Amino acid sequence: MSSSLISPNPIGTSNPAAAGADRSREAKTRRRKKKAQAQAQAQSKARSLSSKWKSQAQQQIFSSNLLRALAQSRRRGGGGVGGGGSSGGRAVREAADRALAASAKGRTRWSRAILAGRIRISKFRKRKRPAAAVAAAAAAAGRSRKPRVSVSRLRGKGIPAVQRKVRFLGRLVPGCRKEPLPVILEEATDYIEALEMQVRAMSELARLLSGGASVGAGSSSGSPPEPLPGQ
Amino acid sequence: MSSRRSRQSSSSRISDDQITDLVSKLRQHLPEIRDRRRSDKVPASKVLQETCNHIKNLHQEVDNLSERLSQLLSTIDPDSPEAAIIRSLI
């Protein structure tokens, strides 16, 4: 049967932004109260969101999505491609990213960006990514020798080094290129957890496929062989 | 000083505490910084740097894993127990 989801939090990432706009309209004393409230809310929301990616249920959902996407892609391009190494890997990677974004249920920007843009901009991303990575890596390596910037600098965003890093980070996380700093930080947090879950799920899957010996013993971790309903 | 509301129309006032909170939360996810001593003094640029590196590493791992998976899937035997696993999961 379908495994129950960890409590889905209906508040999306737009909550801090809404609270921020609200805050600017209130008086100063009320603003402070609301800020404390929003912070507590954000903390509890963050905790529930972070546990979401660590749960077993989420991993199972991701695995089933991934397998379905893989089966689809194999049915479509199985005859023509002929199993080329790099192209097959690329297709798996994109299917995995789509499954990951689908597991996020569209509550984060990067998941929406992945689902919306994978088809259109896959060609452009292949060109942009190597050039941007080399240039930014060179710039970042040169600037990381002065680690004396504190958080107040982040707020002011006057230092070009921090600014450059923030922009680079915004490019790494899909869909966050033009977002302000707190949005990028939040998206990056969620994205890192999601990627870790993706790595865990895919390595489990690879282990199951290559080994196959631990199936009969009642698999302790990873996705157990039971039919999950289509989601 | 703190009256920077120039070009961010969606969130007009980004408080310092909010950013500190986000940075510390992000720091928890980075294994390099978490195990370091004196975790209070890690500057924000370092956190950003480690975040970029971590995301790049994770991307690399996902790429490697998808390579492996594609090879495994292409060479799989239709009658083996592995295929049964896949079929039962779908």
What value of ipTM does the predicted structure carry? 0.74
**Mean predicted confidence (pLDDT) in B40-50:** 78
Q: Give the CA diameter of chain B.
A: 69
Residue bearing the bigger pLDDT, A54 or A5: A54
Residue A87: per-residue pLDDT: 66
Nearest-by-Cβ selection for B46 from A86, A147, A166 = A147
Q: Worst-scoring range by mean pLDDT, A35-44, A79-88, A186-195, B72-81?
A: A79-88
Residue bearing the bigger pLDDT, A140 or A169: A169
Q: Worst-scoring range by mean pLDDT, A1-10, A16-25, A209-218, B8-17?
A: A1-10
Q: Which two tokens stand for residue A96?
A: 């995995």
CB distance from A111 to chain B under 8 Å?
Answer: no
**Mean predicted confidence (pLDDT) in A72-82:** 59
Position B88 pLDDT exceeds 50: yes
Position A73 pLDDT exceeds 60: yes
Position A225 pLDDT exceeds 60: no
For the domain spanning B4-89, the CATH number is 4.10.280
Q: pLDDT class for A76, splitting at 50, 70, 90?
A: low
Q: Which residues contact A29 (CB under 8 A, 6 or more apart)?
A: none
Cα nearest neighbour of B46 on chain A: A147
**In which residue are the tokens 């949005």 written?**
A183
Tell me the chain B residues in contact with residue A192 when contact means C-beta distances shorter than 8 Å.
26, 29-30, 51, 54-55, 58
Q: Worst-scoring range by mean pLDDT, B29-38, B46-55, B66-75?
A: B29-38
CB contact under 8 A, B17 and A39: yes
Where do the structural domains in chain B lie, given as residue ranges? 4-89
Q: How many helices (H) and strands (E) does chain A have?
A: 8, 0
CB distance from A96 to chain B under 8 Å?
Answer: yes
CB contact under 8 A, B58 and A192: yes
Tell me the chain A residues in contact with residue B90 when contact means C-beta distances shorter than 8 Å.
64, 67-68, 71
Q: How many residues does chain A have?
A: 231
* Beta-carbon-side half-sphere exposure of residue A33 (alpha carbons within 13 Å): 4
Q: Which of A48, A43, A42, A38 is nearest to A8 (CA)?
A: A48
- In angstroms, the CA A189 to CA B62 distance is 17
Residue A69: per-residue pLDDT: 74
- In angstroms, the CA B63 to CA B70 distance is 11
A residues 51-90 closer than 8 Å to B (CB): 63-64, 67-68, 70-71, 74, 83, 85-86, 88-90
Q: Which amino acid is at A155?
A: R
Position A59 pLDDT exceeds 80: no
